[in-house]
Amino acid sequence: MKHILPIITLTTLAAAASAQAASGLSYNQVNVTRSSQVNAVSAQFQLGGNLLLSAAVSGDGWSEPTLGVAYVFKNVAFATDVAVGIQQGQWERSAYTIAARRALGEIIPGLEAGISYADTYSTGNDTYIFLAGASEQAESAWSYELAYAVTKQIQVTLARVDFKANPAQTVVGLRYNF
């Protein structure tokens, strides 16, 4: 009877550690995407444990880069990671972002889902927002993304990005995780 509490404690700690390791989400990645409007190339790098730096260029004339920084809160609920950040275009207003990602290996091994929201928080003033491989001048945007791991490092992605007061874009992409 006196060994039950240590066993339960060790079992709980082991389950929590395996859930942390089981998420399998990579934040070091390079993406090449094609939306219904334009091509884009983006990269993001994880510094330390939770800080993300990102850069993206998109458009027919390869616009100025959009730079971003975010902080990732891992395993917030139901093995879902949440990132809160800010994006800055060269001559644009900042856009504030929140994104949630979750590996769905219990449904289909290698499947991942994500949802993102970006907002400039300035009514009537648009800025270029970059989400899930699509870029558009808007006040706010939502994106919904599915990714499937073909190999450990290569994923194919499909996303839908809804920009406020602009047509929605469908985005297909290829992602390299390193």
> Mean pLDDT for the chain?
85
The number of CA neighbours under 13 Å toward the Cβ of 144 is 4
pTM of this structure: 0.81
Residue bearing the bigger pLDDT, 58 or 47: 47
Q: 147 Cβ partners below 8 Å, 6+ apart?
A: 111, 112, 113, 114, 155, 156, 157, 158, 175
Mean pLDDT of 100-108: 96
Residue 49: pLDDT band (50, 70, 90) is confident
Instruction: Examine the pLDDT at 64 and tell me if it is beyond 80.
Output: no
Render pLDDT for 116-163 as a digit per residue (tens, 0 to 9).
999 988 766 677 888 999 888 888 999 999 999 999 999 999 999 999
Max CA separation in the chain (angstroms): 71
**3-class secondary structure for 83-141?**
EEEEEECCCCCEEEEEEEEEECCCCCCCEEEEEEEEECCCCCCCEEEEECCEEEEECEE
Render pLDDT for 152-173 as a digit per residue (tens, 0 to 9).
999 999 999 999 888 899 999 9
Render pLDDT for 21-41 as a digit per residue (tens, 0 to 9).
445 799 999 999 998 778 999
State the pLDDT at residue 21: 43
Yes or no: say if 178 and 162 are a contact pair by the CB < 8 Å rule. no
Residue with tokens 């070091």: 28
Residue 60: pLDDT band (50, 70, 90) is low
State the pLDDT at residue 2: 47
Paired with 132 in beta bridges are: none
Paired with 71 in beta bridges are: 51, 84
CA distance 173 to 56: 14
